[in-house]
Structure 1
Amino acid sequence: MASSSTSSVHKSFKYEVFLSFRGKDTRKTFVDHLYHALQNKSIHTYKDDERIKKGERIDDELIKSIEDSKFYIIVFSKNYASSSWCLDELVKIIECQKTTEHTAYPVFYDVEPTEVRKQSGEFGKAFAKQEKKETAEKWREALKEASDLAGWELKNTLDGHEAKFIQKIVEEISLELRYINLSVDEKLIGMEDRTRDVVSSLEMGFDDVRMIGIKGMGGAGKTTLAKAIFDHISFQFEGSSFVENVRENSNSNFSGLKKLQKQVLKDVLNDQGINISNVHDGKKKMKKMMHCRKVLIVLDDVDHTKQLEALAGELNWFNKGSRIIITTRDEQVLVAHRVNLIRDVNLLSPKEALCLFSRYAFGREIPIQGYEELSRQVVLYAAGLPLTVSVLGSFLCGKVEVEWESAIQRLKTIPSKDTLDILEISYIGLEEEHKEIFLDIACILKGCKKKDAIRALESCGFYATIGLKVLEQKSLITISEYGELDMHDRIEEMGQYIVRRLHPDEPNKHSRLWIEEEVRDILVSDQGTNEAVRCIELSSSELNPEIFMKGLGNLKKLRFLQVHHYFPYPSNNWEFDEVRRYFPNALRCLRWERYPFGSLPKSFQANNLVQLEMPYSRIVQLWEGGDKKALNKLRFLDLSWSNLKYLDLGLTPNLETLDLTDCPDLVELHMPAEWRKLISLKLSHSKSLHGLFGELQRPNEANSETTKLIVTEVLLMTRKQYNTQAIH
């Protein structure tokens, strides 16, 4: 791939600030305080402090230092102009300041701007010593230009208080650097708007103490956003600390938390001599020492409330105006700690993702010619996840087109390890049951209505409502505006990879099957008993249903089966073998849309079946040959839009929901009078019924196709209530 230059070049400076001053006037007073204030804010500053200036001209080393500085602070004092060295510095500074890369700020310490501009007053007396020198005119011009620049005058600022004056200078320089860092960092895309949005929610003008949480999935850019916010506002606080990788750096015996407490105190107090004996001692010291300071603390990647209790226990630990920012994948951690405001991190838009990818892959904001479509494919795969975008951009940088195509195809089977390692952290921290629920969603249930997924998962023995809430709080799933389970494509990919990675080429050893070719191969091969497969989803197939049924019987531990769409082969004349096992007896949830047979096989014991859904099926009666086999665990039954003729609900004593919508052939429905667990009953669009509650029979006019029996959401009615209220 041909190399490409960047679209814009930003100069990197050795120093952020260069201080120009007359040593005899201010070295040990004003300039000394200003220098240390800048250093305390991590502003790299050049101060020619130790050098004994001899000779008339500044040397090459000093000239280089001026050229290598972004900002200049020129401290004009009464005797500044008495030094030819200072005046030569000023000439070089003004020369550099005329470029767009440098900015000079005059500070009028004990003189007024007009004195510098006109070389009058005490300042003029000092300059008089230079009048006869050859460079005097050049110095005059430099002094005039410097005095016309925007700067600060001590006498007219903050009532002349030097400490407050210095703080103002440092804050304004810090702010300039923040804006520069945000715009110069070519790897930060869309960060300026996101930073501004979160900063506005911090409401910096209020004096209360606030904690704000930023949550999102791994790799979504939480840490990057938190760093940008920290860089943007930290100068406004008396002390600040950015604590990275809290989860990783704190461990079970709390020695890690003790180190993090020590780090926060050192950063905030700028004191390297702090000692902490244990976490409890650290809490006491943090509360005592930070109570009098306005501080900014960022706690990055928190995953447990104990970490917050140790590092930001209560709001009263901090002085007015303090702000604590917490990033996490787990919303519950923030809720439990009573965080004031919780914000979701926004993923990259397609335009932003393409720009970020291009900067990593090509060193420019748009793809180079010939790589536009391949770049769009990568960005589509990354689905707005900054981590994936940057990893793939770095990986593909310098590779030729053939390598790109190969890499993109490989990603569809084997995801990027760098991305997976970050994403899997959330999965590893789950309880075992929640891991199983997560894998069921990633492999099979993504896109299902939440209520349907809960029903299916509960049928399989899981506490689904709690489990889904946990996964949602940990940013592993979301609920769409339509009430459907959703998750980021890379999270889904990670879940599917976890299922497949131990035996990538042996699907018969996978716990969940959802790829049609693999399902077909396993069921057709008839390899004998299989105890690995727990769940199957088949969305469409040309597989002969008779072969499909025979293969299912080998899956001894199968608990969940979901089949969609109609098999193209007619099955009216095929009969079940009375001995052969078809459906595994371990099945707890059986969802088969367009089931092609007239009944369930006799060999299916169904002792564990909790949910049975067979809409649009050919089923005529539940059991082959009219058997009366009890389904004692069955809670959910859906035979809507089917060929059903007979149903005896005495066989389902624990049934809670029943859907027989539009069963035109239904002529006999037995419902025992003592049946009391029904919550929801749907019988609309049926033509005739016999034996409802044993003896209840529909009126003659009910045989008309235009007449409807509507019985919906019957809530534990008695027989009398049913007779008088539910028949229309």
Structure 2
Amino acid sequence: MASSSRNNKKYDVFVSFRGEDTRDNFSSHLYSALSRQNIQTFIDDQLNRGDEISESLVNAIEASAISVIVFSEGYASSRWCLDELVKILECKKEYAQIVIPVFYRVDPSDVRNQTGSFGNSFSKLEERFKENSKKLQTWRNALKEAATLSGFPSPNIRLESKLINEIANHILKRLLDQVFWPNYNKNQLVGVESRVEEIESLLGAQSKDVYALGIWGIGGIGKTTIARATFDKISSDFEGSCFLENVREESQKPGGLTCLRKKLLSNLFKDENVIPGIDLNFRRLSRMKVLIVFDDVTCFSQLESIIGSLNCLTPVSRIIITTRNKQVLRNWGVRKIYEMEALEYHHALELFSRHAFKQNHPEVGYEKFSSKVMKYAQGVPLALKVLGCFLYEREKEVWESAINKLQRILHPSILEVLKISYDSLDDKEKNIFLDVACFFQGEDVNLVMKFHNASGFYPEIGISVLVDKSLIAIGSYNKIRMHDLLQELGREIVRQESINPGNRSRLWHHEDIYEVLTYNTGTEKIEGICLDMSKVKELRLNPNTFTKMPKLRFLKFYSSLFNGENKCKISYLQDPRFAEVKYLHWHGYPLKSLPSNLSAEKLMLLEVPDSDIERLWDCVKHYSKLNQIIHAACHKLIAKIPNPTLMPRLNKLVTLNLRGSKSLKTLPSGIFNLEFLTKLDLSGCSKLKRLPEISSGNISWLFFRGTAIEELPSSIERLLRLGYLDLSDCKRLKSLPSSLCRLKSLGVLNLCGCSNLQRLPECLGQLSYPIILNLAKTNIERIPESIIQLFVSGYLLLSYGGRFEFVQKPSFLERGCLALQPFIGIVEDTLRIQHTNHTPANRWQEIWQERGFSMGKGHIVLPGNEIPKWFEFQSVGSFITLEMPADFFNNSRVQGIAFSAILAFSDRHVDCGRWFSFSCELKVKTTKDCGTHDTRLFQSRVNYVESDHLHLGHYQFCEEDFNGFWKCNCIPEAVHFNVFPPLECQCCGVKKCGIHLLHPPDPTSMEDPSTCFNCNEED
């Protein structure tokens, strides 16, 4: 019978013993030790019995998860003991009961063979039952079988108390591993097992130092759950253990810290009468191996008051601290920090379904609603549980209404938990948090810093605090990231300021803004407005609209339409009053000149794209803190940019965007010399024919798309920090200077649509930085062989069109590793001929992220909807399981894995500018002693594309993979390959996947290693 049948046992342990030998000593002490561990134990205290063991004893044996057999010298002289033994072994066979023999002052071989003093006892029983040979043989077989089981011998020189403690701890561990843990994981948690294994690994069981581990993350992300699961699993390995829950909440009560200290010591010493604060307690701790979890710690003083420092603990002790504040961990010297991440989509859906449907998946007809909840909750367990319980057994109409309501109002139970972190901030930090939640999600952190510096909010420390408290994160490309639920928290806090939008500090919803501006209900409370003009058709502004908002710091009128088109008509004739504005973005600004009272000392960003402004430079030359100017598509703007040397106050300018200014003909030579200028966008300046000579500069981004440039100056090599050069649709561009190859930081070169460009510099391979090269719609017919150097050195994204070829096959492709020949073939074929069909989707997204083919890992992406045939294991969907021979890894018959997946977007209305992350994972399931080991093959980003795309990658195994799987000589049972589509984009799915085993060539073997495997597919 399956081991899961033990989950509902009445007793944890049944103890079988010979009363006359051990009732008053060993067995009673063992019972006490088990009781102290809260292990429910059955022990028979009856002194007299009948001829047969009672039915109650039989039931007790069957109702126990573990049986402990205490073999003593007189054990075999009792027919009742031997009948118990027979019954126990029957339960072992029928119910998979765990049996643990203890050889109390007897030798296991004497028990097995019925010899020595133990055999003498059995001889007395043989004499009594010599007429019942069948019964005797049953007992002999039982003794022989039990004596061969792994157990605990007790030599005379061994301390009995130490033996009893070892037995009790071993039993507790077996209960946790074999009974409690599977049931705990199955019924209580989702996606927890692999995380607990990670934490166990981080705790460093072999380390001899006091090891403190922090578990850090936002509220509701599951920190306490994972800490509790880890504690429950490993606490039996320690002499003392304590889980201190809700430290933040308990410490706020009168005498709370003293109570927590007493609870800690009482649990560790198993003594309710312990007196906290006595030095003796901490001297005792210094001699114990203990496990302590401090849950929900908010400040260093809490830890200091409860336990002092790590110095009072023995080197083999372990500490776990859960917190929302990373600074707490730093202050206590915690260097190992486990950052809690959101649940992956399939785990999130399962957790939600358990609460919403009382099963592991959504009910038929509720899939679409469940998907919307997944998008809202973003993998936060608290939100998934709360919303699941809230929606349980409600009709579809109610689901739809509730989900729509969640878009405007955060659920109170979620709000309560998340708001704890917000309440711990000071006023300046709260303002930064609310600004990010309402206006700055996804913006560059440097821009956010400058805005809040101009606002007087000390963002250097403020943003650091928000990061430490998991309220924001700094993501890829230095962008501010905030979890969707935290963004909703910030916006809900603002909504609760007043029922009247005009009395709120920040406005971002188009309906609220339309009401305030149309009916002129704004007040001095308003500090920021962010309006998506694509959501409204017309706005009529009152002459004193902005005069009523004297504290306005932030104003952004923008269009979210992909082409940036602004269909909103704004009627406004009066010079607006913007005395306190630091950030001004007004798409289609209706006046011919800038507001007259913009503060020269406060304005740090000015963006008025597609506006009617005619005079710009006479105004902005006075703005000393201005670091970004965007006047894209301002067709009436004067044609000449004045020399920057005549505008010294603009030296802090970081971004200059004059995209679409069709009157612009020339650039002043000093434009590249502005000290802080890093981004210059002149795309669409169709009369710009040439660039000035360059003496120096710090520019990183240059955009010349659609200009009339015919050539680049050779002095472009002096832009040492240039990383992005866009020359797309420069139809007059005929050649590139060889000096371009000396730009060591160049990462992107976009030549798409340069129809007169016929050749590339031969030295292109000298570029040392990972390169993205777009050659689509050019007339290039020949690719320099040196480009392969880019391919080998790291990372090449190549988009191309027309026809081109190598003069000769690069030698690199000829000497490739045998195991990777399929990859090299695909690379070669793709490089030689393929067409883009004039869509940016058909480009390589990534190629090899580590150096070389034959080591590390790599990944390429290209258009396609079929897995290559050489992938011997393929499946529809995102999951493959391989059953494998036990010695496969140990014999080095596989060195790595090639993987593939077809990703597709089902929703054609996805924001084309967004990027989504997805990952592939390999999991090795082993024998029960080793559990499951996994490793992430890669994690990458993909943006929306219309056609299906094939992702190909390879990964070479190393000793660190699978949490040291290779080092522990585990026996593998199966390999699971899983592709996880983007959690934040439910319209992106995995159509097919495949894996191919990479193995060293063996010229002496004709066997195909793939024949050793069986493949199981799952959709």
Report the TM range for the smaller structure's normalisation: 0.7 to 0.9
TM-score by length of 1: 0.82
Q: Aligned partner of 2:9: which letter?
A: F
> 1:34 aligned to 30, 34, 37, which one?
30
Q: Aligned partner of 1:547: which letter?
A: L
Deviation at 1:494, TM superposition (A): 1.3
1:72-111 alignment runs, 5 A limit: 72-100=67-95, 102-111=97-106
With 429-438 and 411-420 compared, the bigger mean Cα shift is at 411-420
DSSP 3-state at the match of 2:533: coil
Indicate the residue corresponding to 2:326 in structure 1.
331
DSSP 3-state at the match of 1:384: coil
Q: Distance in 2 between matches of 1:160 and 1:395?
A: 59
1:83-482 alignment runs, 5 A limit: 83-100=78-95, 102-117=97-112, 119-127=114-122, 128-129=124-125, 131-132=128-129, 137-138=134-135, 141=138, 144-145=141-142, 147-149=144-146, 151-152=149-150, 154-155=152-153, 160-179=158-177, 180-185=179-184, 186-251=187-252, 255-276=255-276, 281=277, 284-482=279-477
Q: Distance in 2 between matches of 1:236 and 1:471?
A: 37
Q: Distance in 1 between matches of 2:53 and 2:105?
A: 25
May I ask how many residue pairs the two structures share in their alignment?
674
Q: Distance in 2 between matches of 1:91 and 1:83?
A: 13
Indicate the residue corresponding to 1:614 in structure 2.
607
Q: Distance in 2 between matches of 1:366 and 1:143?
A: 52
Deviation string, structure 1 residues 219-244 (Cα, Å, up to 9, x no partner):
11111111121122212212111111
Q: Distance in 1 between matches of 2:696 and 2:590?
A: 27
Deviation string, structure 1 residues 488-509 (Cα, Å, up to 9, x no partner):
1111111111111354x53223
Give the direction of change, closer, same or farther, for the CA distance of 1:598–1:159 in structure 2 (3 Å limit).
farther
Deviation at 1:20, TM superposition (A): 1.4
TM-score by length of 2: 0.60
- Taking only the aligned residue pairs, the percentage that are identical comes to 35
Q: Is the 8 A contact 1:15 1:70 kept in 2?
A: yes
Deviation at 1:58, TM superposition (A): 4.2
More helix by share: 1
Indicate the residue corresponding to 1:673 in structure 2.
none
Q: Aligned partner of 1:296: which letter?
A: L
Q: Is the 8 A contact 1:656 1:679 kept in 2?
A: yes
DSSP 3-state at the match of 2:105: coil
Q: Aligned partner of 1:364: which letter?
A: Q
Q: Distance in 1 between matches of 2:526 and 2:615?
A: 26
Deviation at 1:713, TM superposition (A): 5.5
Deviation at 1:629, TM superposition (A): 10
Deviation at 1:628, TM superposition (A): 7.1
Q: Aligned partner of 1:706: which letter?
A: R
CA RMSD of aligned residues (A): 3.8
Deviation at 1:614, TM superposition (A): 1.5
Structure 1 unmatched ranges of 5 or more? 1-7, 671-677, 688-702, 716-724
Q: Aligned partner of 1:187: which letter?
A: Q
Deviation at 1:557, TM superposition (A): 2.6
Q: Is the 8 A contact 2:261 2:307 kept in 1?
A: no
Residue 638, structure 1, aligned to residue 634, structure 2: no
Deviation at 1:113, TM superposition (A): 4.1
> 2:19 aligned to 8, 18, 23, which one?
23
Q: Aligned partner of 1:474: which letter?
A: K
DSSP 3-state at the match of 1:556: coil
Q: Is the 8 A contact 1:460 1:560 kept in 2?
A: no
Give the direction of change, closer, same or farther, for the CA distance of 1:714–1:103 in structure 2 (3 Å limit).
closer
Give the direction of change, closer, same or farther, for the CA distance of 1:437–1:548 in structure 2 (3 Å limit).
farther
DSSP 3-state at the match of 2:478: coil
Indicate the residue corresponding to 2:705 in structure 1.
none
Q: Is the 8 A contact 1:682 1:711 kept in 2?
A: no
Indicate the residue corresponding to 2:969 in structure 1.
none
Indicate the residue corresponding to 1:560 in structure 2.
554
With 534-543 and 118-127 compared, the bigger mean Cα shift is at 118-127
DSSP 3-state at the match of 1:533: coil
Q: Is the 8 A contact 1:640 1:659 kept in 2?
A: no
Q: Distance in 2 between matches of 1:143 and 1:424?
A: 68
Q: Is the 8 A contact 2:651 2:676 kept in 1?
A: no
Deviation at 1:553, TM superposition (A): 3.9
Deviation string, structure 1 residues 592-620 (Cα, Å, up to 9, x no partner):
34434321244x45477422312534354
Indicate the residue corresponding to 1:590 in structure 2.
584
Q: Is the 8 A contact 2:472 2:481 kept in 1?
A: yes
Q: Is the 8 A contact 2:100 2:151 kept in 1?
A: no
Q: Distance in 1 between matches of 2:347 and 2:363?
A: 16
Residue 577, structure 1, aligned to residue 574, structure 2: yes
Indicate the residue corresponding to 1:68 in structure 2.
63
Q: Is the 8 A contact 1:445 1:453 kept in 2?
A: yes
Indicate the residue corresponding to 2:999 in structure 1.
none
Give the direction of change, closer, same or farther, for the CA distance of 1:558–1:125 in structure 2 (3 Å limit).
same
Q: Is the 8 A contact 1:683 1:711 kept in 2?
A: no
Q: Aligned partner of 1:31: which letter?
A: S
Indicate the residue corresponding to 1:699 in structure 2.
none
Deviation string, structure 1 residues 517-570 (Cα, Å, up to 9, x no partner):
22112111123x512221111133344465388644433332211222353367
Deviation at 1:344, TM superposition (A): 0.8
Higher relative contact order (Cα pairs below 8 Å, separated by 6+ residues): 1
Indicate the residue corresponding to 1:719 in structure 2.
none
Q: Aligned partner of 2:593: which letter?
A: S
Deviation at 1:652, TM superposition (A): 9.1
Q: Distance in 2 between matches of 1:111 and 1:384?
A: 57
Deviation string, structure 1 residues 184-233 (Cα, Å, up to 9, x no partner):
12222222211111111222112221111111111111111111211222
Structure 2 unmatched ranges of 5 or more? 560-564, 669-673, 700-717, 720-1019
Q: Is the 8 A contact 1:647 1:668 kept in 2?
A: no
With 116-125 and 531-540 compared, the bigger mean Cα shift is at 116-125
Q: Distance in 2 between matches of 1:56 and 1:683?
A: 95
Q: Is the 8 A contact 1:661 1:682 kept in 2?
A: no
